[in-house]
Structure 1
């Protein structure tokens, strides 16, 4: 059955799926190509008639996307692959007024991702009584590279434009524009950390859920150095004029070529060269003047309620398929690069029974996700804001355990019994436990979106109250005390070119 809604730009026609109204591929800004390429998103023009909103919009330029826009630098293409700045909406009741709104910002290492991923289908969340919105935004070079003559963080500017669309239109889908919660994971959580720090985003949302916040924000010098290497492979400079005729696909290919050799730049670029991506939010004096940890400690998000957390085994996902061999020398080198201190940084004493391979995994998890998430909660508390902390300690298989990305699968309810049973090291009771843990997390996320309180004690410097999601969830002190103590004096800030420090 069809469902029609009149948005500010024109009518859209979606449909009902299992008692949820679903609208896919609604534009919130015109295609970011041609004269609009590398610029902030432009205002959307309206349309006549009724626009079909039954299919997801095109993916933005990224590896694996073969649409015509990957090869066409000039702009509009006939197959519609240029129309990629879109939102999707799931609503449980179109005639209702004032439902909480949850806006999902996907992850993907700032390189890739799509709101059309079936693992982020919003139907289960919407069935719990919220209106769910998901966003397509520019990733990779198009969205996050530092380019002379272009604004930085174009992907985040896209998100802000989508949030403006939400404020103007979501009441027509049953949502309350004054009760919007942004939520995202990994790079999506990094974008949320930026959004709650940015004056441009002020007033567009009331609450934020940041799942596995990356600790990588770039100073302009590092971002410029990375962009210069990528464009240098194409014989171009990282300037709008030079890149206007370069098709997105060529920049995607050049980026992938850099990723393959990025560890070779560790001496110049520091620890970011050991990550799987050359992109992160860039500090910008006008739009993103401070890294989130400093901004929140200074009170930038005092009026925003923040739920933040991570999985226990964040880095297991990236080493589960490797032999995980690691020498003591390699471990010491990794710690020195990530912590910025000589020796083992206290890890050998803190984890005396861990192998070198296990310590290597823990150190990377701490630096990249666990400690940035914890420190964001701490900064929010210091700045006078309200924060709640969680950690996912449940996993469905012994190879990956509570790995990176598992939390959002549980929240969306898209980890299926078939997914679990197909894993060769799945635990015996994992299917039933996944349902129970997912339902608990989803209920807490919805409770937070509805009321601003997820159901456990606020985070503070003394008690560090944390909701721990295991087969039997409980509330207690932050579980990773050993790592917290090691990183207690560290300050997460913008990463720079090493010679500039």
Structure 2
């Protein structure tokens, strides 16, 4: 009989895994030193290693966390896993690898759980199906709650994200020993894991660690501002009776830091980007959807009924009234009646419960997913998951057991008779994307995933439009020497001006040849498309401050940066050209649009104040 054990040598030492039919599995392999004491609030550090052979045949410790196994009446234990399994060495990965393989594609999964719960031990994340299909699956554990995401002035922010980056570094250095190709790594995550990855895509220290990314039910607008994070920090410090400093928290036990999390669950965070469903998030100066990102291929999507998880099991869909729908919309939108009307028009047969679910679904995940996809500079393949389970329809998390092929472990989510063929088709699409960057549908439109699949031009365009302009900033026409100015220029609501943009807005485009100079030059058709995006960016910033585009008549001063040739100055035709573009963008609604862009001075790579006036009249 064959020995079920299998030993792999890593830089830190040897690990002993076990064999399953066609699969080798290794649990709890350290990628960083277990954080204890003051180290819990520092960046991860390399593991010191071990002597002998480390046992990796059973699940190891998990990150300290409060017990979470349900949403109201719904059993969510398959999603959250076993909770806190104590032990210091919990910055680990689980690895599922095919037998006798070399240079296999690698997929690295980052779990969700509201930044405060979850682990690699969840039965949903069994990687056997991936391994049997020839892919190495790595599931990452990272710091959670206070140690992972509480913002402290004497500690690095987003320590949980730093853990994920460290884990990807481990994959790059060690995965070849398990039979994987370190040059073909796809990182994917769900919910909080997807939000972490949206931040990772824009993190310079993570550049080159992943070749592709998959974001499931996340959002590009879910980060806390430093000011919002400070509210949570103050609340934690008050409950613990300590100064809001890592140095003051260092002597507290993990039990103390875990126990405080449910005590601050009701803390009020103005303009909470995730509607109050979690007390923690990544802390960033600007949202991922408004931040330059690595131009790697992206597979991204959400579920049609995301919000059902946060309503149905909590008894909020039983007797929904029109007033309840409006109240839900008012949590997220300045003009709730207009928003609800838009949803009613697009869903004339929907009852109030369906409308409430639709509004919440887009507010939490759908809209932010769309904004991140629109902003991404690389190829984007979109999907929308629509298969409806008996418990929470196509609610948040329902797609996960289909991706992993773990329907048997997810009965509370998918019921007793989920469509097995759908699981196989989804997993194969994810694997195809990891192998080649192509999941099997075009990089335009949206793939609707249900018992049957359909590729459509777009989904619910009118509903998304009701939320207002997207406020996306895209880096255009880069030129040598201008990189620093571009990076500084991208701020929420900022306007970027380059030697390419102003002539383009002026409409002075040649019929043939190139626009611009050097490697940033483009053909006229592309130039018009980029100019159109510039107009959208500027209008979005105005609309955000003005409260919408129904009636806009105000002057907004914004910080911009110039990356121009010495001596370049604005041209008079900018005014008329911008007006033409506004009309092009908004069609009949922008027929009477007028704009004026004035720039005082344009020294190279220097900040300037831009004054933009936009009038849109019916």
TM-score by length of 2: 0.69
Please give the root-mean-square deviation of Cα atoms over the aligned residues, in Å: 2.4
Q: Deviations over 1:138-187 (max 9, x none)?
A: 11111011112010000000001100100000001110000000011111
1:409/1:421 Cα in 2 relative to 1: closer, same or farther (>3 Å)?
A: closer
Q: Matches of residues 64-463 of structure 1 in structure 2 within 5 Å?
A: 64=67, 81-93=87-99, 95-214=100-219, 215-259=221-265, 261-262=266-267, 265=268, 269-272=270-273, 274-283=275-284, 290-295=286-291, 298=292, 300-302=293-295, 304-321=296-313, 322-324=315-317, 325-341=319-335, 343-345=337-339, 346-380=342-376, 383=377, 385-397=378-390, 399-416=391-408, 419=411, 423=415, 430-431=417-418, 433=419, 435-459=420-444
Cα separation, 2, equivalents of 1:335 and 1:120: 34
1:72 is aligned to: none
Q: Is residue 48 of structure 1 aligned with residue 51 of structure 2?
A: yes
- 1:485 paired residue among 461, 465, 470: 465
Extract unaligned runs of 5+ from structure 2: 69-84, 473-490, 493-546, 548-618
Shift of 1:344: 3.6
Work out whether residues 38 and 251 of structure 2, in 8 Å CA contact, stay in contact via their aligned partners in 1.
no
Work out whether residues 92 and 127 of structure 1, in 8 Å CA contact, stay in contact via their aligned partners in 2.
yes
Tell me, what secondary structure is at the counterpart of 2:160?
Answer: helix
Q: Is residue 470 of structure 1 aligned with residue 450 of structure 2?
A: yes
Q: Deviations over 1:6-55 (max 9, x none)?
A: 11111111110122011111111111112312111012112221111112
Cα separation, 1, equivalents of 2:242 and 2:354: 42
Cα separation, 1, equivalents of 2:386 and 2:192: 21
1:417/1:226 Cα in 2 relative to 1: closer, same or farther (>3 Å)?
A: closer
Tell me, what secondary structure is at the counterpart of 1:37?
Answer: helix
Which has the higher Rg, Structure 1 or Structure 2?
Answer: 2
1:76 is aligned to: none
1:443/1:87 Cα in 2 relative to 1: closer, same or farther (>3 Å)?
A: same
Cα separation, 2, equivalents of 1:373 and 1:453: 19
Cα separation, 1, equivalents of 2:130 and 2:385: 19
1:417/1:148 Cα in 2 relative to 1: closer, same or farther (>3 Å)?
A: closer
Work out whether residues 124 and 410 of structure 2, in 8 Å CA contact, stay in contact via their aligned partners in 1.
no
Work out whether residues 231 and 254 of structure 1, in 8 Å CA contact, stay in contact via their aligned partners in 2.
no
Shift of 1:329: 4.1
Q: Deviations over 1:359-411 (max 9, x none)?
A: 2221111011111112211111xx3x1000011111232x4211111111101
Shift of 1:123: 0.7
Shift of 1:273: 7.6
TM-score by length of 1: 0.85
Extract unaligned runs of 5+ from structure 1: 66-78, 284-288, 460-464, 495-500
Tell me, what secondary structure is at the counterpart of 1:343?
Answer: helix
Work out whether residues 21 and 91 of structure 1, in 8 Å CA contact, stay in contact via their aligned partners in 2.
yes
Shift of 1:490: 3.6
1:224/1:417 Cα in 2 relative to 1: closer, same or farther (>3 Å)?
A: closer
Q: Deviations over 1:204-240 (max 9, x none)?
A: 0100000001331111111011121122112122211
Cα separation, 1, equivalents of 2:181 and 2:456: 33
Cα separation, 1, equivalents of 2:384 and 2:273: 24
Work out whether residues 222 and 287 of structure 2, in 8 Å CA contact, stay in contact via their aligned partners in 1.
no
**Of the two structures, which has the highest relative contact order with CA contacts closer than 8 Å and spacing of 6 or more?**
1
Give the count of matched residue pairs.
Answer: 452
